[in-house]
Amino acid sequence: MAICSGRTVIITGAGGGLGRAYALAFAAEGANVVVNDIRQAAAEEVAREIRAAGGQAIANSDDITKLQSAQRIVDAALEVFGEVHVLVNNAGVLRDRMFISLSEEDWDTVMNVHLKGHYCLANILGRRWRDLAKVGTPVDARIINTSSGAGLQGSIGQSNYSAAKGGIASLTLVQAAELARYGVTANALAPAARTSMTENAMPDVVKKPEDDSFDAWAPENVAPLVVWLGSSQSKHVSGQVFESQGGRISLGDGWRTGVTRDKGARWQVGEVGAAVDQILAEAPKAQKVWGS
């Protein structure tokens, strides 16, 4: 049996790139798919493709960055499919500049789409799932967020994007801890694939191979992990950040308390430098900031 049979998934930014790949893959595994994209025509095209293959899908272009319009996305899913079991927060934008060249609009646009866009639908659905659990209705729900290597390691020229994606990773940890009691898991993905954003940012890196060799940047490579995380099979996995590119799945090793010096008393200013130097000498080296 298909692993998502009977489950309904909302996928944001699903009119192309990774979101489209996720939508097609979920449908192939039996899920009902709500294809959300600000570009109505793109959303309709993906929904038609799913239906033409025998799947169930509707298109939606409501704004994910406001609770009122995000509610309409959920309402549309409930009206057609009866329930929502999975949310894939995938939509995003770029406004790349060196930090001191960022305008306030560049900052706010990226924060609004990424961070607030991750808040609105998850907040609405989280409250729904909580209320169902409290009246004894079994809940087996999933939140799948989208972070980035830029959010985990930083990326030169992308301070706004890196900050938003780092915030999404932390948000995921808190969602997982708070929502577990209601039957909800939350995980995040840092995907690396060819999308309109990456083609604009690094076209030579993500271009499709000219021969028949493995296309390591194809968005379809990331989809199986996302579909599995959205299935009932993944209920034991929560609060994790995965990186995925090509044939690779990696677990993000997050911030944790590392090498320590404890004097057992207040440090004197003149002592701090030597202690910090010893800590840094013993600590594992951090991954480099992307672009450095």
pLDDT at position 81 over 70: yes
Whether the pLDDT of residue 214 is over 90: the answer is no
More confident residue, 197 or 161: 161
Report if residue 259 sits inside a domain. no
Catalytic hit among 22, 165, 231, 234: 165
Is 17 in contact with 219 (CB distance < 8 Å)?
Answer: yes
pTM of the model: 0.92
**Is 263 noted as a catalytic residue in this protein?**
no
The terminus-to-terminus CA distance of the chain in angstroms comes to 47
Note if 165 is an active site residue: yes
- Using alpha carbons only, give the angle 49, 247, 241 rounded to the nearest 5 degrees: 90
Three-state SS string over the chain comes to: CCCCCCCEEEEECCCCHHHHHHHHHHHHCCCEEEEECCCHHHHHHHHHHHHHCCCEEEEECCCCCCHHHHHHHHHHHHHHHCCCCEEECCCCCCCCECHHHCCHHHHHHHHHHHHHHHHHHHHHHHHHHHHHHHCCCCCCEEEEEECCHHHHHCECCEHHHHHHHHHHHHHHHHHHHHHHHHCEEEEEEEECCCCHHHHHHCHHHHCCCCCCCCCCCCHHHCHHHHHHHHCHHHCCCCCCEEEEECCEEEECCCCCCCCCCCCCCCCCHHHHHHHHHHHHHHCCCCCCCECC
Write down the pLDDT at residue 202.
Answer: 64
Residue 197 pLDDT exceeds 80 = no
| Rounded Cα gap, residues 77 and 65, in angstroms | 18
Look at residue 272 and tell me if it is in a domain.
Answer: no
Residue 275 lies in a domain: no
Per-residue confidence at 216, pLDDT binned at 50, 70, 90? Answer: confident
> Does 32 map to a domain?
yes
| 287 lies in some domain | no
Domain count, the chain: 1
CATH of the domain at 37: 3.40.50.720
**Residue 288 annotated in active site:** no
Spatial separation of the C-alpha atoms in residues 69 and 114, rounded to whole Å: 16
Predicted pLDDT of residue 12: 98
From 119, 155, 161, 162, the catalytic residue = 161
Residue 286 lies in a domain: no
Please state the rounded mean pLDDT for residues 120-124: 98
Residue tagged active-site, from 61, 147, 148, 162: 148
Please say if the pLDDT value at position 118 is more than 60. yes
Q: Is residue 186 part of a domain?
A: yes
pLDDT band at 198 (very low <50, low <70, confident <90, very high): low
Residue 80 has pLDDT above 90, yes or no: yes
Domain of residue 206: give its range: 8-251
Contact status, residue 221 vs residue 193, Cβ threshold 8 Å: yes
Q: What is the pLDDT of residue 255?
A: 84
